[in-house]
């Protein structure tokens, strides 16, 4: 039996609690030894639920513990970079929820600390671990249907997040489309240029914070391929997640996953199952798989599947999209410093 990796979780809110439960219940290679949250009572509640003995309020209390090999960071975005720097300096491997930071200088500072420490560092782009999206990637990468020509990603949320959330999220391109920027790079390769259009069409309250709720982004890839990302904050029929890569000798695509594949026919027509309504439902297996692979990479000294470079590129693309939207022109990624 392969050895288990001792890991602690910093941040036990919405995403942190998901990762904590997955580590304790669904990832046999992990040994969850501690949890941390500035809201000590929240951390204590999940620790009691899972039988975790060590609970701390200050993450620095974990850093001198040489038995802890890895840390999962799932705190608020604005805390990621300084936690990464401190954890890296302690020589512990890191899984960090996206984004690394909303400021590129902060991202670079965190990544410099990671490089200096020589540790494993994985960013939480969970959609890379979806079995259907992975299959599309593998088909395209194999070359069996020729070179990629056109990418199309459709990603639409069932309802807009609150204005309070959106106000500090970095806006639509850095909060929502960031996943699609990463997926585009995962499927086709590096992106050189973006042209973004957007508007407020379903959530008028977003105008007050300078955000948008609907966008289309066109992409130019370094390999000559082109792409389109199509986002909305409100798809009333459910969580709409589709992907297509058209190639010179064929096409690879992934349609929506539904609750079941049964279809009912009646006088009023055909009826199929609903789409998932929440990203936690649609991507639940991906949250398990991304951390399982991280644990495996730490244990077996393998490269991680979603790197700091990937995390930085997605943030830079988000800034390029905002610049394009505001200046109404294509923006090269090289313009974003």
Tell me the pLDDT tens digit for each residue of 135-170.
Answer: 999 999 999 999 999 999 999 999 999 999 999 899
Range from 163-167, 203-207, 214-218 carrying the lowest mean pLDDT: 163-167
pLDDT in tens, 56-69: 999 999 999 999 99
State the pLDDT at residue 236.
Answer: 94
Question: In whole angstroms, what is the distance from residue 307 CA to residue 32 CA?
Answer: 23
Read off the pLDDT band of 280 (50, 70, 90).
confident
Give me the percent of the chain exceeding a pLDDT of 90. 93
Question: Which residues face 221 on adjacent strands?
Answer: 191
Pairing of strands 191-199, 214-221: antiparallel
E strands, the chain, are 5-10, 30-36, 54-56, 70-73, 93-97, 121-124, 148-156, 191-199, 214-221, 226-232, 240-247, 250-254, 263-266, 269-272, 331-332
DSSP conformation letters of 191-238: EEEEEEEEE-SS-GGGGGGT--SEEEEEEEETTS-EEEEEEES--TT-
Q: What angle do CA 283, 7, 101 make, to 5 degrees?
A: 60
Question: In whole angstroms, what is the distance from residue 117 CA to residue 92 CA?
Answer: 9
Mean per-residue pLDDT, 201-221: 97
Question: In whole angstroms, what is the distance from residue 302 CA to residue 111 CA?
Answer: 18
Question: In whole angstroms, what is the distance from residue 253 CA to residue 336 CA?
Answer: 31
State the pLDDT at residue 1.
Answer: 64
State the pLDDT at residue 40.
Answer: 96
Q: Is residue 174 a contact partner of residue 119, using CB atoms and an 8 Å limit?
A: no
State the pLDDT at residue 274.
Answer: 87
Read off the pLDDT band of 48 (50, 70, 90).
very high
Range from 266-270, 290-294, 326-330 carrying the lowest mean pLDDT: 266-270
State the pLDDT at residue 278.
Answer: 81
Q: Is residue 99 a contact partner of residue 311, using CB atoms and an 8 Å limit?
A: yes
pLDDT at 276 over 70: yes
Report the mean per-residue pLDDT for the chain.
Answer: 96
Question: In whole angstroms, what is the distance from residue 43 CA to residue 35 CA?
Answer: 6
Q: Among 6, 10, 5, which Cα is nearest to 55's?
A: 10
Determine what percent of the chain falls in helix, strand and coil, rounding each to the nearest 5: 40, 25, 35
pLDDT at 299 over 90: yes
């Amino acid at each position: 039996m392969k050895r288990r990796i001792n890991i602690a979780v910093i941040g036990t809110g919405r995403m942190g609690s998901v990762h904590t439960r997955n580590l304790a219940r669904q990832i046999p290679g992990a040994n969850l030894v501690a949890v941390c949250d500035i809201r000590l009572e929240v951390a204590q509640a999940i620790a009691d639920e899972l039988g975790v003995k060590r609970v701390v309020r200050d993450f620095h209390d974990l850093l001198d513990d040489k038995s802890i090999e890895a840390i999962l960071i799932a705190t608020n975005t604005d805390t990621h970079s300084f936690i990464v720097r401190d954890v890296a300096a302690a020589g512990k491997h890191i899984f960090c929820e996206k984004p690394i930071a909303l400021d590129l200088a902060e991202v670079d500072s965190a990544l410099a600390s990671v490089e200096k420490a020589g540790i494993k560092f994985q960013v939480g782009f969970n959609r890379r671990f979806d079995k259907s999206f992975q299959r599309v990637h593998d088909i395209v990468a194999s070359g069996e249907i020729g070179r990629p020509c056109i990418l199309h990603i459709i990603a639409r949320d069932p309802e807009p997040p609150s204005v309070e959330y959106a106000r500090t999220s970095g806006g639509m391109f850095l909060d929502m489309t960031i996943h699609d920027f990463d997926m585009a790079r995962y499927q086709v390769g590096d992106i050189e240029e973006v042209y973004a259009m957007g508007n407020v069409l379903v959530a008028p309250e977003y105008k007050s914070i300078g955000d948008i709720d609907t966008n289309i982004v066109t992409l130019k890839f370094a390999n000559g391929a082109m792409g389109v990302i199509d986002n909305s904050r409100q798809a009333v029929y459910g969580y709409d997640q589709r992907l297509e890569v058209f190639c010179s000798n064929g096409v690879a695509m992934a349609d929506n996953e539904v609750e079941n594949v049964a279809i009912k026919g009646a006088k009023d027509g055909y009826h199929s199952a609903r789409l998932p309504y929440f990203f936690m439902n649609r991507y639940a297996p991906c949250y398990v798989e991304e951390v399982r692979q991280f644990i495996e990479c730490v244990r077996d000294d393998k490269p991680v599947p979603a790197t700091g470079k990937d995390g930085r590129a997605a943030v830079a693309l988000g800034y390029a999209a905002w610049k394009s939207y505001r200046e109404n022109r294509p923006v090269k990624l090289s313009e974003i410093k």
